Structures are given as C-alpha cells and as structure tokens.
C-alpha cells in the first residue's frame, strides 16, 4: 500500500534507514523529480527538484492507519498524509503517469506538464462556477485561462476551485 509522507529534506537518508530498520528491506520510495539546467556565469548548472516539494511516496504492505502510529516518531518524518488508504487508485495512476513520462535518467520530461495545459477543466466554486475552461499558462500565483474565446487571469486561491473533466 502506498503512503504519502511529508519529510524533512535534510534528514531524508535518516528517514529511509529508520523505516527500513522498522519494516525491513522490502520498502520502496518514489520521489518524482525534474532536472533544471541554468546558466550562471557562463557555466551550466543542473539542479534536481522534487515536483512534490517535501512529500514522497512510500510503499510497504504493512501500511494502514493502525500501523502508521508505530512510525509516527521516525527521524526525518514530519507526518503521514491522511486518507492515503482511500486514495490508492489515484496514487497508483499518478505514479504510473510519472513513470511513463520519465527519461532514461529517471527525471520527469516536459511532456508531463504539457498534458496539464491541454486538458479541459470545470470550475466547482467561485464566480465562474460550472464554466469549462483550459489553462493557457500557469504562474506561481495566477493562471491564464481561456473560457470559450475569452482570455482571463485567475488567482490561485481557495475561492476558485476547479477539477479536470
């Protein structure tokens, strides 16, 4: 069963060792990462970035809400994300999609993010409720969207929720 953990990036190796010690060696981790290349002072610098931030997928047969309490105080672990038992289908689909979009080195390719821009979405709250739109550009705080032939900008906040169609 897959679980989602929030971990301290500095102590990830300690967390892995601690969980392997408690569960055995048949535990597996999945951390989808992208490789970003930047030029700084005419030098090319590669940086690996976890697309989930400080969350990681962890698989073991013993994971259930009752056994999670036993691992609550593992070094490097902030907490287990609740509800993972009910979301196994979605977690498996996401991991499968990530692995399909990996290159030979194991990094997520750009096509993974292009799929997000090509999909249609529907607002489930806010002033545009039940309107269908597509995302043209994703920003840090705002998304540029198209509703029919109208182009507009929507702030990323709790007042404007949407879901894929």
pLDDT digits (tens, 9 = 90+) for 16-67: 888 888 887 788 899 998 888 777 788 888 888 888 888 999 888 877 655 6
Determine if residue 106 is left, alpha or beta; phi over 0 gives left, psi from -120 to 50 gives alpha, anything else beta. Answer: left
Same domain for 98 and 147, yes or no, is: no
Q: How many domains does the chain have?
A: 2
Longest dimension (CA), the chain: 57
Overall residue count recorded for the chain in this entry: 165
- What does DSSP assign to residue 74? -
Same domain for 105 and 124, yes or no, is: no
Tens-place pLDDT, residues 58-93 = 888 877 655 677 777 788 888 887 778 788 888 889
Exposed, middle or buried by CB within 10 Å (0-12, 13-18, 19+), for 31?
middle
Same domain for 24 and 102, yes or no, is: yes
Residue 146 in any domain: the answer is yes
């Amino acid at each position: 069963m897959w679980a989602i953990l929030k971990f301290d990036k500095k102590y990830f190796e300690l967390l892995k060792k601690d969980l392997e010690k408690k569960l055995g060696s048949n535990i597996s981790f999945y951390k989808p990462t992208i490789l970003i290349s930047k030029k700084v002072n005419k030098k090319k610098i590669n940086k690996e970035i976890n697309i989930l931030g400080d969350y990681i997928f962890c698989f073991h047969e013993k994971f259930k809400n009752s056994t999670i309490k036993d691992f609550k105080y593992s070094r490097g672990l902030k907490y287990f994300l609740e509800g993972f038992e009910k979301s196994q289908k979605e977690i498996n689909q996401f991991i499968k999609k990530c692995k399909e979009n990996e290159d030979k080195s194991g990094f997520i390719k750009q096509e993974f993010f292009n799929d997000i821009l090509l999909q249609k979405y529907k607002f489930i709250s806010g002033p545009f409720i039940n309107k269908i739109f597509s995302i043209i550009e994703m920003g840090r705080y705002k998304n540029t969207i198209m509703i029919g032939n109208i182009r507009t900008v929507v702030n990323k906040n709790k007042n404007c929720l949407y879901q894929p169609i």
